[in-house]
Amino acid sequence: MLTALGALAASSLHVVWADQRLVVFRHGVLTAVQGPGLVFVLPGVERGVRVPAGHAEQLTTRSVPRKRSTTSGGRHDHFGFRATGGCHEST
């Protein structure tokens, strides 16, 4: 049991060097860009991908303001979303 706990802790810690950043995906969605330093990633929930530091600054995340729309049936709906460009998780 102690060995399994140690293996789990070792797989959740990532060392990110000064010329790298760790792009963290949670369930395939960009969550954060972290580093340099020691970074904790939840095993099984999050996935970390190392990228060169210059490439991490090219990531953009924008929020689209909520809008009101009217359907053909006269129903009013509100919608909004977050768009992330420049990075995606490939499986």
pLDDT by residue (tens digit) across 22-54? 888 888 888 888 888 999 998 888 888 888 887
Q: Is the pLDDT of residue 16 over 70?
A: yes
Q: Is the pLDDT of residue 70 over 70?
A: no
Q: Is the pLDDT of residue 91 over 70?
A: no
- Which two tokens mark 42? 């939840």
Could you tell me the pTM of the whole model? 0.59
- Our CA dihedral for 37, 43, 44, 45, rounded to 10 degrees, sits at -50
